[in-house]
Structure 1
Amino acid sequence: MIFINPKLDQRGPCTPEMAALLTCWATSSVDSPSCAQTVQALTECMRRAPKSSKHTNTINYHLARLGKFL
């Protein structure tokens, strides 16, 4: 059976803020008050991020249907 893999390298809109928060947590403890600013930045980014609708790809459905004729 033939399958098309979706592109997995799509980055979210808040990836830099998440990376900064994980770096801050790695260098200090999770409960550190020095990471409060990065937590706030990530929270604001997540609040402002556009809500994307889930688009379902039908290529695998069509390939399964056409696979019977190959």
Structure 2
Amino acid sequence: MRTLDKIKKPLALRPPKVQAATTCAVEVATLFNCWRAMSVDAPQCAESAKALMTCMAAQGKKTDPAYSVNEINHWLAKSRRKKQL
């Protein structure tokens, strides 16, 4: 490709990636910090472990809609296009 052609091409900008914290991240961090300060079997960390288990159990009860067929087909088509490049 000639240098002039590279200049004429429009710039392609990628959208910024935003990472959202998971819902149980605070409980996991609290439990890991307790384990680091004490030991893994310390009874003082039981409260943190219970908080994490209740948070994770609440996450399992949510009824998030499953991926739709159209969305799955979109991602499959996108992955196929990448392989052909």
TM over 0.5: yes
Normalization by structure 2: what TM-score?
Answer: 0.53
Q: Which amino acid aligns with 2:39?
A: S
The 3 A distance-change label for structure 1 pair 8 and 61 is: farther
Deviations 1:11-51 (A, max 9, x none): 22111000100010010000000000000000011111135
Q: CA RMSD in A?
A: 3.0
Percent identity at matched positions? 30
Aligned positions, number: 62
What runs of 5+ residues in structure 1 fail to find an aligned partner?
A: none
The equivalences for 1:1-70 within 5 A come to 7=17, 9-49=19-59, 50=62, 52=64, 55=67, 61-63=76-78, 64-65=80-81
Higher normalized helix content (fraction of residues):
2
More relative contact order, 1 or 2 (CA 8 Å, 6+ apart): 1
Q: Which amino acid aligns with 2:43?
A: P
What runs of 5+ residues in structure 2 fail to find an aligned partner?
A: 1-13
